[in-house]
Amino acid sequence: MRLLPIVLLATSALAAPLHADELRDSAKDIFAPLPSTVPAVKDNRITPEKIELGKALFFDPRLSASGVFSCYSCHNLATGGDDNMETSVGHGWQKGPRNSPTVLNAVLNEAQFWDGRAADLMEQAKGPVQAGVEMANTPAQVVDTLNSLPQYVTWFKAAFPEEADPVSFDNMAKAIEAFEATLITPAPFDSWLNGDDLALSDDAKAGLVLFIDKGCSSCHSGVNVGGHGYYPFGLIEKPGAEVLPPDDKGRFAVTETVDDEYVFRAAPLRNVAVTAPYFHSGKVWDLKVAVQIMAESQLGEELADQEADQIVAFLDSLTGTLPAITVPVLPAETATTPRPTA
Ligand code: HEM
Ligand code: HEM
C-alpha cells in the first residue's frame, strides 16, 4: 500500500494536542502498546519446547556452511538485535548489500526485510541459511547436521510431537520463529501509552507531537512504529547516492513494477536509538541526521535543530527492555556431523 503525499499533508495539518490526555488519545489512535504476552503467529502454535529449540538454533553457528555464522552473528541480542555494521559480513567474510535490521519485535512487522519480500518470520528464517553472502548452507546439509546431533533430534521430537519426521528445514524455521516471537521489548513509550504520565520526558512528548504533526506517523505507525506499508525512499526529494545507492532498487526486485523503484518498507522504529547505522544502506550513523534526512526526503521539510532533538528524544523512548535470555548450551558435534567448509 502506498500513501499519496496529499494524505501526508492532511495528517500534517492536524493541530498539536495540548493536553496530556488528548495527546495520549491521539497517540493511541496511531500507535499501540506492545502485547503483554507472546503474540500468536499464523500456522505455528507457540510452545515452550518450540521456543527453547528455536533459541538453540538461533545461537547455533552450525546452521552455516562454515560453522562461523549464526543468526546471532548479525542479530546480536546484546546490541539491539542487529550487528551495528554498515552492511553485514557473512560467509567467507563477504560484505552483504544491506544493513541488518533488528530481530527485536520483528514478529509484529507486517512483512520481513527492507523490501518486505518475506511474509513472516518462518519464511524469512529460510533465507539467510541459504544466502551465499550470509550462511551459504543447504536445507539438506542443515537437516544432516541436526540429525547428527542426538540432542537436537530429542528437542525436535519434543517441539513437534505429532510429527513422524520432525527434523526438517521447515520445522527449523518454525522453531526460530517461535523464539523470535518472544523478543518483545516494552519501552517507556508503552508505559506512557498505558497511562504512566511520567514515563516520557517533556522533550519526548514534544517530539511525539512533532512526529505526529509533521507527518512521520503517516508512515511510521502501529505497534512497531513502522514495519508496514511501502513508500519511495525520497518521496519528495531523493537523497544522494551516498545514502540511497542507485543499484539497490528495493521493492522493484520483488514486484518488478516501475512504480516500486526505490520503494522500501517504512522501517519499524522500536529500539532505533540502539540500532545505528541507519537506512538499508547503513550509511548514516547519527540518529539526528537520519531524522533530518527523513524530514527532507519524505516530507520536504527542514527541521529546526530543537525539533530534530525532540524527535530523537521521542525515538529514545522506544528503546525497550529485552526479556531475560539464558545463553543455550548447544549439543557437541559427533562423528557424523558434516565438517565446516571454508
Ligand atoms: C533481515 C532473522 C541470519 C543479516 C532479517 C530479518 C529477520 C532476520 C527477522 C528481518 C527483520 C526486518 O525485516 O525487520 C535472521 C535469522 C537468521 C538470520 C532467524 C538465522 C537463521 C542472518 C545472518 C546475517 C543476517 C547470518 C549476516 C550475515 C541480515 C540482513 C537483513 C536481515 C542484512 C536485511 C536483508 C534485506 O532486507 O534484504 N534477519 N537472520 N541475518 N538479516 Fe538476518
Ligand atoms: C526509515 C524516521 C518520515 C518512510 C526511517 C528511519 C528513521 C525514520 C529513523 C531509519 C530506520 C532504520 O534505519 O532503522 C522518520 C522520521 C520521520 C519519518 C523522524 C518524520 C520526520 C517518514 C515518512 C515516510 C517514511 C513520511 C513515508 C512517506 C520510511 C522508509 C524508511 C524509513 C520507507 C526506510 C528507508 C530505507 O530504505 O532505508 N525513518 N521517518 N518515513 N522511513 Fe521514515
How far apart are the CA of 222 and the centre of ligand 1, in A? 22
Question: Tell me, what's the pLDDT at 18?
Answer: 55
Q: Which of 52, 134, 177, 180 is catalytic?
A: 134
- Give the span between the Cα atoms of 303 and 53, in whole angstroms: 47
- Give the span between the Cα atoms of 245 and 283, in whole angstroms: 10
> What residues contact 37, with CB distance under 8 A and at least 6 apart?
none
> What residues contact 85, with CB distance under 8 A and at least 6 apart?
99, 100, 277, 282
Helices (H), the chain: 5-12, 20-30, 48-59, 71-74, 121-130, 139-147, 150-159, 169-180, 188-193, 202-214, 252-255, 287-299, 305-316
- Give the span between the Cα atoms of 182 and 60, in whole angstroms: 18
Q: Which residues pair with 264 in a beta bridge?
A: 231
301 is catalytic: no
| pLDDT in single tens digits along all 342 residues of the chain | 344 444 444 444 444 445 778 999 999 999 999 999 999 999 999 999 999 999 999 999 999 999 999 999 999 999 999 999 999 999 999 999 999 999 999 999 999 999 999 999 999 999 999 988 999 999 999 999 999 999 999 999 999 999 999 999 999 999 999 999 999 999 999 999 999 999 999 999 999 999 999 999 999 999 999 999 999 999 999 999 999 999 999 999 999 999 999 999 999 999 999 999 999 999 999 999 999 999 999 999 999 999 999 999 999 999 999 999 999 999 999 999 999 987
- Measuring from atom 25 of ligand 1, which residue has the nearest CA? 74
Contact 95, 88 (CB under 8 A): yes
Domain boundaries, the chain: 5-30+186-316, 48-180
Question: Tell me, what's the pLDDT at 31?
Answer: 98
Give the containing element (helix H, strand E) for 265.
Answer: strand 263-265
3-state secondary structure of 213: helix
Closest ligand (CA of 267): 2
Residue type, 154: T
Q: Which residues pair with 183 in a beta bridge?
A: none
Question: Tell me, what's the pLDDT at 15?
Answer: 46
- Measuring from atom 38 of ligand 2, which residue has the nearest CA? 279
Name the residue among 141, 148, 173, 149 with its Cα closest to residue 160.
173
Can 5-30+186-316 and 48-180 be said to share one CATH topology? Answer: yes
Q: Give the position, in ligand 1's atom list, of the atom nearest the Cα of 64.
A: 26
Name the residue among 101, 100, 77, 104 with its Cα closest to residue 89.
100
Question: Tell me, what's the pLDDT at 342?
Answer: 73
Q: Give the position, in ligand 2's atom list, of the atom nearest the Cα of 291.
A: 19
Q: Which residues pair with 36 in a beta bridge?
A: none
- Give the span between the Cα atoms of 38 and 178, in whole angstroms: 9
Closest ligand (CA of 290): 2
CATH superfamily ID and name for 48-180: Cytochrome c-like domain (1.10.760.10)
- Measuring from atom 24 of ligand 2, which residue has the nearest CA? 219
- Measuring from atom 18 of ligand 1, which residue has the nearest CA? 71
- Give the span between the Cα atoms of 196 and 159, in whole angstroms: 39
- Give the span between the Cα atoms of 336 and 132, in whole angstroms: 24
Name the residue among 275, 224, 324 with its Cα closest to residue 86.
275
Ligand 2 neighbourhood includes 50 CB (under 6 angstroms): no
Q: Which residues pair with 232 in a beta bridge?
A: 263
Contact 221, 215 (CB under 8 A): no
Complex ipTM more than 0.95, yes or no:
yes
CATH topology of domain 5-30+186-316: Cytochrome Bc1 Complex; Chain D, domain 2 (1.10.760)
